[in-house]
Structure 1
C-alpha cells in the first residue's frame, strides 16, 4: 500500500489480518511506491521485483517509475501472448513489438516516435540490469554508437531508437491568452467575460492561485505542487512587484535548490486562499476527525532558519526527528502537520475538499477540466469538429505555464534592457559581462543545466527573432507591464509557431450583458 494510503481513503477493512504489513514489506525491502508485476496467471514475478528494488530503478522519479512500469507491462503482455516470459525475449521479438506499436494497420492506437523511445528506454534499463545481474546471457535490445554534437562525445543508444521523435510537446500562452484561459476555465466566466449563471467552482481560488503561481514563477508542477505553507513568501508593505522564495533540492529535477521569483499579486492570491477556503476546509476536516488516525502523521514542532533551514518534528513514537528543509522529499512533505488551535493542520499548501493533501499528479485533472470548459464556451457551435487546425480556445497544461513564463521573462528582460534602461550597445555589452544576457537569466530562473534546453526547446519560436526590432516602439510608461507588452506578444504569436494568443473572437464583448 502507498505510504499515504490512509490519506487517500484506503479502507481499513481491506487490510484485515495484515496488521504486520509494514514489517513484511521492510523484511523484503519493499518500499512505498515500488511497482509489483503480476502475470496474467496472478503470480508475482520475483525477478522483476528485484529489478524495481535495484539502485538503477530507484533513482528514477516517481512519475518515471510509473511510466516505465506501464511500458514494461505492455511488452510483457506481448511476450505472454507468444507463450513465453520476458527473460526468453529475442531481438526479433522487440522488432515485432515495435512494428505492432508504431506501424501495424490493425493496431487502433499507433504511437509516435517519442512514446516509442520512452518505452525503449524502459526496456533498455530492464534488460541491461538483467544481463549485468547474470539473469540473461544477452539483451534483446541492440545498441549502437553515435556521436553527440552537443556533448562532443560518442554515446551508446538503442539501435531501434526512433528518428522521428519530437523533442518535446512545447506550446506557449501570451499573458492575455493565459488570463482568458483562467477566467473561462477556472473562474467559470462566459464568452462575454461575465460570471456564468449558477457557476459553483470547486475550490476556484485554490486552482487560480496555483495556475498563477506556475505562470508567474516558472516552477514545475511538482515544485509548486509540493510547497509547504511556510515556504510561500509573505507580502510586506513596500515589498515590490516580485517576492523571492526557495525551491528545496529534493523536489527539483536536478536535485539542486533554486531561487524563484513570484509576483506580488500571486502571493496575495495564495494568502487569500490560505486564510479563506483552505482554513474552512481544515476546520471541517478537524470536526470530522479526519486527522485523528493518520498513521504517517508527523507533528512539526519548529523550523530553524539560517543558511540551512531545518524542520524538527516528532514521529509516531514521540521521538524527535530533524531534516534539512532542502532534503524533504514529496512523500515526507505529505506527512507533515502542525499543531493548530483546534488540532493538527496539514503543512502541505494545496488541499482537497476533504482537507487532505492534494497530490501533485491531480493537478493534471484540474487543467484538463479547464481546457474542456474553454473549448466548450469559446468555440462557436458551428465550428465544432470542422477544421482540426483552427483553434478558438486557449489550451494550457502545468508545464506550458513554465514555457510561457520563459517566453514572458525573455521579452520583459529584453524590453528592460533596450527600452527602460536605455542602454547603449557598449553599456549593454558591459551589462552582459556582469550579469549575463537575458537568455542566461531565463536559463537560471528555470534551473536548466544546459543553455540548449532553454534556447532550442523552451524558447525555440523566438530564438531567431531580433527582439530589439520588435520592441522598437516603446509602450506607454503609464500602462501595466503585461498590458503594455500585449502588442509585442501578439506580433510574436503571429510570426511564430506554437504561441497561443487571443483574437477578437476570444476577447469579452464590451458592454455585453447576460
Structure 2
C-alpha cells in the first residue's frame, strides 16, 4: 500500500505530518487529502497523539457508515448525522452499540471536523450547533446545551471503589484468584506482578492512566528513600493539560510492588527485557535514543546524538519521546520506561485498556462460577465490578 506514496518522510515534511499523525485511507476510494489535512493544519494538530487517535477512530466509524450508505462525507445532511446517532446508540442491527458518554465524544469529534472543513472547503456542517434551553430542575438554574448531545451523557461520571472492592477486583481479574480466595492450578500469570503493580499505583497515587503509564525508572523514588509516602515528580508533558509539572506521593506499598516487578532476578520486567535483547528487538530500533546520564536535581537526562551528548529536560518529553529512551548495559540496550509489554517493548498507555477488559471478563466468569446467575440489564449495571480507572 505504501509503494505508491514515494518517500513518505519527505511527503510528511511537506504536508505537516508528525510522528503519530493519523492517516486515513478508504479501501474503496483511497486516501482523501482533505480529510487527512484535518490532523495537520487544524487546531487539533497541537493536541496530543492520544487525542488524534480518538478523533481518528470516530472519523473512521463515521466514514465507514457513510460508505455503506453510498454517501460522501462532503455531501451529507443533518439527517445522515441523526441516522448515524441512531445506529451508533440504539439500532438493534448494530452489535457494537455505545453509550451516551462514548457518543458524546463522537459528537465532539465530528463537530470539530466539520467546523474546520466548513471554513476550509465550504462543506456543509451537518452537526446542529445552536444551543437550546434545558428545563430547570429543583435547586438548579436553567442551562444551555447542544441539541444533538445525548440526553444521558453527564458532564462527569466518576466511579468510586472502596479499598476492599478494589483489591478483590485486582486479585480476581489480574491475579487469577476465585472469590473463595483459591487460585486454580491452570492459572498462568505471566505479567501478574506488572499488572497488579500498575493498578496498585493508579489507586495509590491518584494519577491518571496516561500519567502513570509514561513514568520512567529514573523518576521513581530511589532505593532507601524514607517515609511512608515518598515524593515523586510528574513531568509537565505527561500531566493533563501539559502546562505544569507537579509532585505527587507514592505509598510505600506501591513502591514495594513496583520494585518487585522490576527486580532483576525475579521480576517479569527483567524477563521481558532479556527476551527482547536475545531477539535483537532494541538494536533494530532506528528511533532509539541512548541515555548516558541522569541528573535528578535538574530532572534532565543526557542523550547521545550525532553531534555528541546533549541534556534534555524530562518535563519536555512527551509520551512518544519517552518510549524511545534506552540505556546501554553489558547485556545490551534496555528501556527506561517502567511498563513493558511481554515482548520487552515499552507499552503504550492505551494498551492497558485491553488488560482491563480481560480482567473485567475474568471477574464476570468467576462470578458465574461462584454460583451467582448471570446478571442482566439494570442489575448488572448496579452490581458489576468496574475497572477503577477514569
Q: TM-score, normalised by structure 2?
A: 0.85
Q: Deviation at 1:395?
A: 2.4
Task: Say whether 1:399 aligns with 2:385.
Answer: no
1:91 corresponds to which of 78, 82, 85: 78
Look up the match of 1:27. Answer: 14
Look up the match of 1:293. Answer: 284
Q: Deviation at 1:97?
A: 3.2
Q: 1:19/1:246 Cα in 2 relative to 1: closer, same or farther (>3 Å)?
A: farther
- Alpha-carbon distance in 2 for matches of 1:379, 1:289: 44
Q: Deviation at 1:145?
A: 4.1
Decide whether the 8 Å contact of 2:16 with 2:41 is kept in 1.
no
Alignment map for 1:316-355 (pairs within 5 Å) = 317=306, 319-355=308-344
- Alpha-carbon distance in 2 for matches of 1:83, 1:284: 49
Decide whether the 8 Å contact of 2:160 with 2:388 is kept in 1.
no
Alignment map for 1:217-228 (pairs within 5 Å) = 217-228=205-216
Q: Deviation at 1:117?
A: 2.2
Look up the match of 2:295. Answer: 304
Task: Say whether 1:45 aligns with 2:36.
Answer: no
The alignment covers a number of residue pairs equal to 379
Unaligned segments of structure 2, at least 5 residues: 137-141
Q: Deviation at 1:273?
A: 1.5
- Alpha-carbon distance in 2 for matches of 1:310, 1:33: 24
- Alpha-carbon distance in 1 for matches of 2:181, 2:253: 21
Q: 1:35/1:155 Cα in 2 relative to 1: closer, same or farther (>3 Å)?
A: farther
Q: Secondary structure at the match of 1:241?
A: coil
Q: TM-score, normalised by structure 1?
A: 0.66
Decide whether the 8 Å contact of 1:226 with 1:348 is kept in 2.
yes
Q: Deviation at 1:299?
A: 0.3
- Alpha-carbon distance in 2 for matches of 1:174, 1:236: 30
Q: Secondary structure at the match of 2:385?
A: coil
Q: Deviation at 1:346?
A: 0.6
Q: Deviation at 1:45?
A: 0.6
- Alpha-carbon distance in 1 for matches of 2:238, 2:262: 22
Q: Secondary structure at the match of 2:102?
A: helix
Look up the match of 1:284. Answer: 275
- Alpha-carbon distance in 1 for matches of 2:246, 2:350: 22
- Alpha-carbon distance in 2 for matches of 1:343, 1:104: 54
Tell me whether 269-278 or 23-32 shows the greater mean CA deviation: 23-32
Q: Secondary structure at the match of 1:144?
A: coil
Could you list the per-position Cα deviations for residues 211-250 of structure 1 after superposition, in whole angstroms to 9, with x for gaps in the alignment? 111110011111111110111112426x222111111111
- Alpha-carbon distance in 1 for matches of 2:366, 2:92: 36
Look up the match of 1:209. Answer: 197
Look up the match of 2:374. Answer: 385
2:252 corresponds to which of 245, 259, 264: 264
Q: 1:382/1:246 Cα in 2 relative to 1: closer, same or farther (>3 Å)?
A: same
Q: Deviation at 1:326?
A: 0.8
- Alpha-carbon distance in 1 for matches of 2:4, 2:90: 49
Q: 1:354/1:137 Cα in 2 relative to 1: closer, same or farther (>3 Å)?
A: closer
Alignment map for 1:117-266 (pairs within 5 Å) = 117-133=104-120, 135-136=121-122, 138-145=124-131, 158-236=146-224, 239-255=226-242, 256-266=244-254
Question: Of the two structures, which has the highest relative contact order with CA contacts closer than 8 Å and spacing of 6 or more?
Answer: 1
Q: 1:107/1:295 Cα in 2 relative to 1: closer, same or farther (>3 Å)?
A: closer
Task: Say whether 1:369 aligns with 2:358.
Answer: yes
Q: Secondary structure at the match of 2:294?
A: strand
- Alpha-carbon distance in 2 for matches of 1:210, 1:261: 15
Could you list the per-position Cα deviations for residues 291-320 of structure 1 after superposition, in whole angstroms to 9, with x for gaps in the alignment? 2221111001212243x42222123x3543
